[in-house]
Structure 1
Amino acid sequence: MLHAKSIRMVMCSVILIAATACAPKSTITPAAVGASPDEFSITPVKPLESPKDFAALPAPTLGGVNLTDATPKADAIVALGGRTSTATGVDGGIVTYASRYGVDQSIRSDLAASDARFRKLKTAAPSFPWVQNKYERAYRRLALDPWAELERLRALGVLVPSAPPKS
């Protein structure tokens, strides 16, 4: 009787381990991303507002700004009694300079294909069949250690205001 219970216990354990080992990974982002400081998680946004007239909404503009986007410089100017410009928020000089040789309309698909080739090349070595996150394996050598980079910048005297203070 004791022998049958122990066999049943071992079989249940094997089934449990096999079922959890086959679980798919839900993300393709590197695991190191979660361990780094997230500078953007504390950015406050402005509250949503309903327009006065839904029929008279302006057409969306490429590179335009949203009313809820954070504008700390403009908010500081208004708080100090100044007036902000009515510009769209896009620096025309930067856009003109970046597109001076033309704009490739298929850049996203070209980059996606190039990335797929790179990941296939870097993960061509045989691996375990349950390892599905090849992204981290392909880009491991290109990853930046955020804490080491923070220390390097602090040693150079560079102020990093979004980083946590030294402990």
Structure 2
Amino acid sequence: MRAAHLVGFLALIGLSACGAGKRDITLHDLRTNSGKPEEFAIVPNKPLQEPESFSALPAPTPGGANRTDQTPLKDAVAILGGRPERLDVGTGVPASDTAIISSASRFGRDPAVRQDLAADDLAFRKRRSLFTWSLVPTDEYYRAYRRQALDPYDWMERFRRAGARTPAAPPE
């Protein structure tokens, strides 16, 4: 009788673990289990600046960006000589990219291709993670996509045997 209770209890725990934590499948599991705050997620605000004219202050936008908010991606693009305003969402296609976009879509294009690919990829990851549970959270990304990964050194050798000039690569 005691063994039947133990088997029933273990089955209940196993069934409850099957559905826990698998509702939102992300590409990488970047959680830390230390219980401490992430050092790199804590970023101080930029220093406050006095505007040139207090009468020309913009109206506040709920949920919008502040002048003192950190913008590390834009700052990096500006330091490297790029145009940080191109990182803004909703700016549309820049005039400099219209020629390449029209050339790439000359045989037609599906406007919902990103949403379709995201839905297909989510279904693929759900199928792959059906029986991959563990007591410790792990990153399942490389295990899910290992059959689709290419060996760069194998392909470099294939191209070299075909006569293509390939750049040097670090040793394996």
Q: Same fold (TM over 0.5)?
A: no
Q: TM-score w.r.t. structure 2 length?
A: 0.40
